[in-house]
Structure 1
Amino acid sequence: MAKRRAAEDLDATEGVTSPAPKKQRNVDGRDGRDGREELLNGRTSLDEVTATEVNDGDDNDEEETAAPLRQAAPTAGYDDLYLDSIDRHVLDFDFEKLCSVSLSHINVYACLVCGRYYQGRGPKSHAYFHALDEGHHVYINMQTQRVYVLPEGYEVLSKSLDDIKFVADPRYTRSDVAQLDRRTATSKICYTLAGKPYTPGFVGMNNIKENDYLNVVVQALAHVPPLRNFFLLDEFSSSTASKTHTNAELVKRFGLLVRKIWNPRAFKAHVSPHELLQEVALRSNRRFTLTAQADPVDFLTWFLNHLHLGLGGSRTRPGSSIVQRVFQGKVRVESEKLEAVGASAAAAAAAKAAETNGGSQPSPQQSPDSMMIDAPLPVRPGGSMAPPPPPGMGSHPSHHQHQMPPPGLGGAPGQGPFAQMPPPPGVSSDSGMFNMPPPSLPPGVSSGMGQQQSSLPPSPSSLPPPPSFSQQLQSQQQQQQQETPSKTTTVAPVPTGPTVDISRFLLLTLDLPAAPLFQDEQERNIIPQVALTTLLGKYDGQSAHTARVDQSDVRRRFQLQGPLPPYLILHMKRFSVNKFITERNPTIVTFDPRGLNMRPYVDNATADDGDYTYDLVANVVHEAERARGDDVAVDSAEEKQTWKVQLRDRSGATAATTANGSTSSDSGDDKWVVAQDLFVEPVAGELLYLAESYIQIWERRRRPTNAAGAGANGKAKAKPTNGTGIAKA
């Protein structure tokens, strides 16, 4: 059988090469052959080759994904990559900067897509994993305000992110601060992202649970111009002396909150004090928290003192910080100790007698034996019981030879079964007993001492008469002088007149009169009213106030010393605490918000001390609410305390204009607003006193600059301002 001929001639396949064998792959997925520089499509960079391209197509091999590359700069033409994913409506930088995973406050970044906080931006950080898992790529450093794109890691330098940086940490210039309180014809109404209008400085504060006591204090302090300007310009950051103080973080967070309150480019019309609250709870050892209501006066006192120390202030040198330069004043206190009367006088006399007899022999009432009901009798050497020493006698051995046994025991010289009783307490003789003449003894009876005694009692006529009370007292004094002849008693001299001290204060306390106990003629409860000038009479130097100090009554008189501070803080004392409940005084304090004259309450007031006319800046008021159950008020329940603050708007943003279209700072047309949590509403200035005022901040009226104050060259002399100016108070 002939062979089948081939389909192709062998000579035609001479130039055909055999198929290439499978490529050898290493563990990292790269080609193991030589000539790697000519790998696939002429590429020379191994980093550009992925595991899928190197794979030979074997279905059994798992696909591998290479890690994203870290870049120092964005790719050319892609500078604004991922910026369209930023959501400004979810950004809220008011909460404490803590990582949502590790709860660390170090190197915290905020995701600009979802608003959460994460720590770090390295390949193993929480922000890096969040970028890979959720696809959120834009992050801002909360300390440096620099924006990065993850996982690439390069910085974004786009100007479109400046509004986010300003909201996270607002910054102001001196010209911006100088324009805050100036009246202009155009209003300063700003708008949020949602289009809601608001006025910078008059925004609501979030009440997380029970922290409205802190909100009203922060709002009031944020409207004190010298203190506000100090924190708006962030002058604390430039001071390196106080950065190491324990309260430095407290000052930093308070300054950031003040700058957010006055932010003209805010995304929302409210702020949250959560970051400041966390620091306050830490520094006060949980005394002031966001879950428990507290007294605004207690918090204000604590907060001002810690701000003073955090700003580098001294405990002894006055005026060493902006807090003391704004609020601190002097008051003269005249104290006089009152003499005790009645039972108090008797107790004082007994205490004085005890001090006088401090080193002498104890009195009968203070004798240790007199405090015992059944005192054990000492045993004599003969086996018989010895009676206790008589009152006024000590336990010295020299006294034992004069002690006598009780009747019927015998064995004592000169005593029988009917021996005479010992003398009454406080009466003694040289031998500790009454001296009696020795009776005649019958023959054959011996007394044991070479004398004979009779066992019959002596006749009554032979006994001496009992001594009188004056003789007993004189005998007791003679005995004390004989026993302690060398001991002298010194008594502290009692001050003959009142003592005067000069004290410094940050706030003045005013005492409200007691509320009436009975109803009026219409059988309705009376809400008493008192004028503010009547309460200030406490500091006129004539009114006396009695206080209990160290178990004694002290009468005090107060009088202010000039010059007065630029700002006065007045506290109306409404609450009194006893062992059972806390009582509230509902008295209404009437006042005029403009033109409070403090000259009658200043000692030796002169024109050189400055003006004494003050205008109201902020007024913290109290509201009592009954607890409600099923929309019905429960009378037996305790009252719930709520706080709000009334603020004066001096900028002209909401003030009414005059007829000619201009505004005047002295026209009395200031606009007042009341802020309670997130609600900010206007209120008439004539109705401010209707609420229960608790804390008031008054500003000293500045002298108007006129021709009378001009110098020789015709120019007005520059005077330091403490109101709207930038200069320190």
Structure 2
Amino acid sequence: MPALFVENISKVEEITHMHTHIVWGRATTFSSIFTPFDFIVCQTTMKLLALSHVTPLRNYFLREINYARVKRPPGDSSFLLVQRFGELMRKLWNPRNFKAHVSPHEMLQAVVLWSRKKFQFTEQGDPIDFMSWFLNALHIALNGSKKRDSSIVYRSFLGSMRIYTRKIPPIELEEEQKEALLLMDEYQEKVTESPFLYLTCDLPPPPLFKDEFRENIIPQVNLYTLLQKFNAQTEKEYKTYKENFMKRFEITELPPYLILYIKRFTKNTFFVEKNPTIVNFPVKNVDFGDILTQAVKERYACTTYDLVANIVHDGEPGKGTYRVHVLHKGSGKWYEMQDLHVTDILPQMITLTEAYIQIYELKETKQERE
């Protein structure tokens, strides 16, 4: 069957245009289009595959010279993570791979070492924990600071928000006592500026009852409904052991690549529960300008994003499997990758999955690159 091959990536120009410049060849599987991993470890490898399709991150690590001059203090082994990730990117995007798959074993060993065994590739874990740790670890290993342009990680993913927090009086108090407390400085609304590498979208609780056919109802929610959390007006209650707070979030700066974490798992006293709610989302032209204040929106020529990677969890919490959907930009087609398997998939089918982590690309960034 015909397949698409990425051309030689030895030159800067070829790296810059490799997402659109394609060569027709003939292959028996889709692994010639996207190279899968030969190591069965769901959550870690799916995250790495998704990140490998973030264009500026990929382009940066394809050329070792971009990070070869980074100096770390004596005895600091964190740069090993950078080296292994760069090697993995070059393996994944090498058009002359002898095998139809790539081993991420060296990369995973570096993860285990530098995370002090927090992330074991023989055990299932929460991908968002790994994502957060990995991006921050890469940023630090590249001598990144709090400045946006201090590393390729921050230049790609860093956004900022304003968090409004106000303390709530205990509900058991009488109205007069509550009113007295609300006049105190402790109960006044406070504002903090906070950077972010991803946004957490909270799903509505699933229905407790079954339908007339005694089957569980699979609820659905629109992505824009979840994003209302960040419109600077919607308040959400947060409870601690002793105190309750109301918070609202205002996005003040959008990143070129926006990571959405759809919170499907919640821990209670006894076990972990999974929320099966289906999120309805478009794969193209997601306008995040709808949740921005007018003052913030006026600073952007474009606030529309396209989906480039979608990580899905199937099965029960703590068990189950992960798969990732990635966009081949040269052909505009989507592919599903899971372990050694690579298959094509229709965009309409992607929207029916239990999306867990998504990566969106700002269309302005895409147009500038093209």
1:701 equivalent in alignment to 2:367 = no
**Alignment of 1:269 onto 2:100:** yes
Identify the match of residue 13 of structure 2 among 175, 181, 197.
175
Q: Does 1:589 find its partner at 2:251? A: no
- Matched with 2:129 is 298
Larger Rg: 1
Pick from 221, 238, 259 the counterpart of residue 90 of structure 2: 259
Tell me: higher relative CO, structure 1 or 2? Use CA pairs within 8 A at least 6 residues apart. Answer: 2
Matched, 1:221 2:59: no
SS of the residue aligned with 2:118? coil
- Give the SS at the match of 2:335: strand
User: 1:550, 1:517 → 2: CA distance?
Assistant: 26
User: What letter is aligned with 1:501?
Assistant: T
Contact 2:67 2:142 in 1 (8 A): no
* Mapped pair 1:605 → 2:296: yes
Q: Given that residues 124 and 319 in structure 2 are in contact (C-alpha distance below 8 angstroms), is that contact kept between their aligned partners in structure 1?
A: no
Amino acid at match of 1:682: D
Helix, strand or coil: the match of 1:560? strand
Looking at structure 2, the residues matched to 308 and 704 of structure 1 have their Cα atoms a distance apart, in angstroms, of: 23
1:536 aligns with 2:197: no
Partner SS for 1:565: coil
- How many residues align structurally? 358
- What do the CA deviations read for 1:549-604 (whole angstroms, capped 9, x no partner)? 46211100111013x11010000000011221110000000111000001121232
Deviation per CA, 1:599-657: give whole Å up to 9, x if none: 121232344423100000000000106xxxxxxxxxxxx862210100001022xxxxx
Q: Distance in 2 between matches of 1:285 and 1:639?
A: 21
Q: Does 1:620 align with 2:311?
A: yes
2:361, 2:112 → 1: CA distance? 30
Query: Structure 2: how far apart are the matches of 1:703 and 1:640?
Result: 37
The unaligned stretches of length 5 or more in structure 2 are 1-7
Match of 2:143 in 1: 312
Query: Does 2:347 align with 1:517?
Result: no
Aligned to 2:320, the other structure's residue is in SS state: strand
User: Are 2:369 and 1:690 aligned?
Assistant: no
Which residue matches 2:256? 566
Q: Does structure 2 retain, via aligned residues, the 8 Å contact 1:614–1:701?
A: yes
TM-score normalised by structure 2 residue count: 0.89
Give how far 1:236 is off: 3.8
In structure 2, C-alpha distance between the alignment counterparts of 1:318 and 1:704, rounded to whole Å: 19
Q: What residue in structure 1 maps to residue 5 of structure 2?
A: none
Aligned equivalents of 1:606 and 1:218: distance in 2?
Answer: 32
Equivalence map 1:399-438=2 (5 Å)? none
Deviations 1:387-421 (A, max 9, x none): xxxxxxxxxxxxxxxxxxxxxxxxxxxxxxxxxxx
Shift of 1:190: 6.8
Instruction: Measure how far apart 1:175 and its partner are.
Output: 2.5
Using the alignment, how far apart are the partners of 2:102 and 2:167 within structure 1? 51
> Aligned pair 1:497/2:329, yes or no?
no
Distance 2:199 2:141 in 1: 23
The aligned residue for residue 204 of structure 1 is 36
Task: Say if 1:330 and 1:257 are closer, same or farther in 2 by CA, change over 3 A.
Answer: same
Matched residue, 1:248: 79
CA distance in 2, matches of 1:582, 1:220: 25
Q: Closer, same or farther in 2 for the Cα pair 1:681/1:510, shift >3 Å?
A: same
Question: Which letter maps to 1:204?
Answer: P
Partner of 1:681: 343
Aligned partner letter, 1:247: S
CA distance, structure 1, for counterparts of residue 229 and residue 318 of structure 2: 30
Distance 1:499 1:217 in 2: 35
Contact 1:329 1:506 in 2 (8 A): yes
Counting strand residues as a fraction of each chain, which structure ranks higher?
A: 2
Distance 1:527 1:226 in 2: 37
- In structure 2, distance between residues paired with 1:290 and 1:537: 36
8 Å Cα contact 1:645/1:674 also seen in 2:
yes
Checking the alignment, whether the CA contact within 8 Å between 1:171 and 1:233 is kept in structure 2 is no
Of 263, 270, 276, 1:580 maps to: 270
Task: Tell me if the contact between 1:173 and 1:233 (Cα under 8 Å) persists in the aligned partners.
Answer: no
| Deviation sequence 1:1-37 (CA, Å, 0-9, x none) | xxxxxxxxxxxxxxxxxxxxxxxxxxxxxxxxxxxxx
C-alpha distance in 1 between matches for 2:152 and 2:165: 31
Deviation at 1:317, TM superposition (A): 3.3
Check whether the contact 2:288–2:303 (CA below 8 A) recurs between aligned residues: yes
Deviation at 1:197, TM superposition (A): 6.7
Distance 1:606 1:234, change over 3 A: same
Runs of 4 or more consecutive aligned structure 1 residues displaced over 6 Å after TM superposition: none
* RMSD across aligned positions (CA): 2.7
8 Å Cα contact 2:206-2:277 kept in structure 1: yes
Aligned mates of 1:613, 1:178 — CA distance in 2: 22
Percent sequence identity is 38
- Structure 1 residue identity aligned to 2:152: I
Q: 1:190, 1:264 within 8 Å by CA — same for their partners in 2?
A: no
Assess, with a 3 A threshold, how the Cα gap between structure 1 residues 269 and 681 changes in structure 2: closer, same or farther: same
Opposite residue 507 of structure 1, the aligned amino acid is: Y
| Superposition pairs of residues 224-373 of structure 1, within 5 angstroms | 224-242=54-72, 245-314=76-145, 316-342=146-172
**Partner of 2:249: helix, strand, or coil?**
strand
Alignment partners' CA distance in 2, 1:582 and 1:344: 36
Determine helix, strand or coil for the equivalent of 1:275: helix
Give the 3 Å change call, closer, same or farther, for CA 702–514 of structure 1 in structure 2: same
Q: Relative to total residues, which structure has the larger helix share, 1 or 2?
A: 2
Q: Which moved more, 1:606-615 or 1:513-522?
A: 606-615
Conserved? CA contact 1:338–1:552, under 8 Å: yes
Q: Counterpart amino acid of 1:172? A: S
Alpha carbons of structure 1 residues 190 and 229: separation in structure 2 relative to 1, 3 Å: farther
2:324 counterpart of 1:645: yes
Provide the secondary structure at the position in 2 that maps to 1:495. helix
Between the aligned partners of 2:187 and 2:13, the Cα distance in structure 1 is 60
Q: Which residue of 2 aligns with 1:37?
A: none
Displacement of 1:344 after TM fit? 10
Q: In structure 1, what is the Cα distance between the partners aligned to 2:262 and 2:29?
A: 37
How far off is 1:318 after superposition?
3.6
Q: CA deviation at 1:544?
A: 0.5
CA contact 2:36–2:342 (8 Å) conserved in 1: yes
